[in-house]
Structure 1
Amino acid sequence: MAMNLIDVETEYAKDTNLKKEDVKILLEWVNKQPHLPLTSELQVIFFFKKCHYSIYAAKATIDTFFTTKKLWPDVLLERNFAKSPLKPVLDTILYCVLPKTTPENYKIIFLKTINPNVVDYSFETLFKYLDMSCMLDLHQNGSSKGHLILFDMEGFPRAYVPKISTLTFKKYFHYMQEIMPIMELKGFHFVNVVPFMDEIQTAFEPGLPKSLLSRVFLHESVEDLMKHIPRECLPKDYDGLMESVAVLHEKTKRSLLENSEFFEWQDKQIVDESKRPNKNTTHGYIFGFGNEFNGDNESGFVHF
């Protein structure tokens, strides 16, 4: 089936700061780099916007993105929901981008445990699921001014708390904020907060960038949540005007399974280190972890 990606003209039309001549310069540069995969105009637009229309910054981010994919395959490659271990996760967790954006034009990434009796999935698998949902939405529905994460904690199993990896959180949220195209997190909202929420915060907050620590909100009620996210953006389950969680879950599963061609295309887009012009370039600090992750890998990027 066709990938049904959003038309580039839609992106140009909604952003007066986005100039075709700048995108052309960046696109020509990217596709002349022997170690980088063939990149589309749409992808270049997303990176250019992420980097606030800086060609110089976008070049570095594009290189980092395709390199990171090869360094962290557990999360960023082998993205086929028809194969284990991804397919079972679809029935236990819901990660989706809600259909309506906020008045600020923020997209809402919605997370909820569907089956609390299953706790044997890894965080790498969960982040892969999250990343696939966000990337598919970006390429099919276009960019926004930011993202909110809304996590319904009802049904979240306490047995999973010891499995929370601060290190994995740190890597993934750095990837989201600094490397992933377009993504800019504007806040975390937790609703139906569980009694052991303090244990969860202790485990995951050290992995958050400092800029996000002040944007974590705990909501004891839907009424309190609606002070931040309007009713028209929320599913019916939260007294909202959108489709129910059950409907969203089925639509998300179907979309991820039907768009295997998109994920196969993405899997092929990785760096070829054997063709990198300057193999002595050091990128050890680009992920923000200092020497902790520095390795002797050929590219100089940190090891995942």
Structure 2
Amino acid sequence: MAHYHVLPNEHEENRLFVEYNMTNAQVKEDVAAIKEWMLTCSNLPKFPESKNDEINFWIEGFLRLTKCNIEKSKIAIESHFRMKTIFPQVFDVNDLPSYVESDIFDYLTMVMLPKHTPDGLKVMYCNFNDRNTHLFRPVEIYRRMRLMLDIYQKKGIDFTGIHVVIDTKNITLSHISQFDLFQLKNLIKHAQKAYPLRLKHTHIMFPPSFIDIAKNVLKPFVSKKMFSRLSFHKNLETLWEHIPRDVLPVEYGGYCGNLDMIKEEWKTLILKNSDWFLSNESYKLEDSKQTKKLQKTVPVQETFSFKTLVLD
């Protein structure tokens, strides 16, 4: 039975440092430079001295994500706090113990699989438990993704990129119709900056008959580069050409545990970090004219949705 390695995986951390030509001395110097920059930004939150070590390691996480690029790390840090201000529902961490035991949490399976691929990548997996939409909330996708990535940010980024596997066999047009186009566009825009992940490939498993409709609607909101890294798989064999079976769970012909077990382990990880999430909930970008304008422009409950384009 597979179990999560203690995060981070030391072997994969070392691989990342070698691949990005990073040294501890250089990282320490770059972290200090970014902290100094943060102090000059009046709109960024100020942290107590007791959080010094935590913030240092958190900044290092951005350096790992950006291949030790200071300027990209600065953009990511500012975007992170801007997202917390613009999309508070994505960063809601109230009563996490009840949340992870809720039917809404259980309806969506979203996890990072335990093992790395041979080239140091992680696999993010997502599916819906059934075709019924009464428990589906689009915001849950963003919220769960954020919880996972922030845990990695806290523990230590130990991967150089990700594969995303989305099983669409239970996705219906009713699911698609609930997505808010304006919110989706802006979430993608800000999330790409706040979490600068290297997306190796997105794998759509068992695509539904209406997949072309969804592709045409999504196309304006994602870059050509991201779109070119999209593959559709009608069977498991073609997925195995991209991701080794010893990385995949048994449900996908793999040898690395089962999804129920992996999901339970992620529930445990979220609960173990619930106090940390709460302690950082209030750190956001100070309300600026730009942020207030964005909040007004992109209301959470905007009525212009996929339903207008797809179902009418």
Which bin holds the TM-score, normalised by the shorter protein?
Answer: 0.7 to 0.9
Deviation readout 1:187-239 (Å, 9 max, x if unpaired): 21011222232233233333222320111100011001111111111101111
Shift of 1:148: 1.5
Check conservation: 1:37, 1:270, Cα contact below 8 A.
Answer: no
Shift of 1:79: 5.6
- For residues 39 and 101 of structure 2, the distance between their equivalents in structure 1, rounded to whole angstroms, comes to 32
2:171 paired with 1:156:
yes
Query: Which residue, 11, 22, 47 being the options, matches 1:17?
Result: 22
- Identify the residue that residue 128 of structure 1 maps to in structure 2: 143
- Identify the residue that residue 219 of structure 1 maps to in structure 2: 233
**Matching of residues 1-304 of structure 1 within 5 Å:** 14-15=16-17, 16-18=21-23, 19=26, 20-31=28-39, 33-34=41-42, 35-38=44-47, 40-78=55-93, 80-82=95-97, 87-180=102-195, 182-273=196-287, 295=293
Amino acid at match of 2:197: M
- For residues 137 and 60 of structure 1, the distance between their equivalents in structure 2, rounded to whole angstroms, comes to 19
Check conservation: 1:6, 1:139, Cα contact below 8 A.
Answer: no
> In structure 2, the residue corresponding to 1:57 is in which secondary structure?
helix
Distance 1:186 1:193, change over 3 A: same
Distance 1:139 1:229, change over 3 A: same
- For residues 296 and 90 of structure 1, the distance between their equivalents in structure 2, rounded to whole angstroms, comes to 29
- Identify the residue that residue 289 of structure 1 maps to in structure 2: none
- For residues 40 and 64 of structure 2, the distance between their equivalents in structure 1, rounded to whole angstroms, comes to 21
> In structure 2, the residue corresponding to 1:231 is in which secondary structure?
coil
- Runs of 4+, deviation exceeding 4 Å: 4-8, 10-14, 31-34, 83-86, 301-304
CA root-mean-square deviation: 3.2
Q: TM-score, normalised by structure 2?
A: 0.77
- For residues 262 and 44 of structure 1, the distance between their equivalents in structure 2, rounded to whole angstroms, comes to 16
- For residues 46 and 82 of structure 1, the distance between their equivalents in structure 2, rounded to whole angstroms, comes to 26
- For residues 125 and 86 of structure 1, the distance between their equivalents in structure 2, rounded to whole angstroms, comes to 14
Give the gaps of 5 or more residues in structure 1. 274-278, 285-293
Q: TM-score, normalised by structure 1?
A: 0.79
Distance 1:234 1:52, change over 3 A: same
Check conservation: 1:231, 1:239, Cα contact below 8 A.
Answer: yes
Shift of 1:94: 0.5
Distance 1:123 1:110, change over 3 A: same
Higher mean displacement: 99-108 or 254-263: 254-263
Check conservation: 2:104, 2:135, Cα contact below 8 A.
Answer: no
Deviation readout 1:243-269 (Å, 9 max, x if unpaired): 111212222233323421132133132
Amino acid at match of 1:295: K
Same amino acid, percent of matched pairs: 19
Shift of 1:168: 3.0
Check conservation: 1:174, 1:209, Cα contact below 8 A.
Answer: no
- For residues 131 and 268 of structure 1, the distance between their equivalents in structure 2, rounded to whole angstroms, comes to 16
Distance 1:73 1:162, change over 3 A: same
> In structure 2, the residue corresponding to 1:73 is in which secondary structure?
coil
- For residues 48 and 107 of structure 1, the distance between their equivalents in structure 2, rounded to whole angstroms, comes to 18
Check conservation: 1:124, 1:168, Cα contact below 8 A.
Answer: no
- For residues 157 and 144 of structure 2, the distance between their equivalents in structure 1, rounded to whole angstroms, comes to 19
Shift of 1:90: 1.6
- For residues 243 and 15 of structure 2, the distance between their equivalents in structure 1, rounded to whole angstroms, comes to 27
Amino acid at match of 1:204: L
- For residues 88 and 135 of structure 1, the distance between their equivalents in structure 2, rounded to whole angstroms, comes to 23
Shift of 1:163: 1.6
**How many residue pairs end up in the alignment?**
281
Amino acid at match of 1:17: M
Shift of 1:169: 2.9
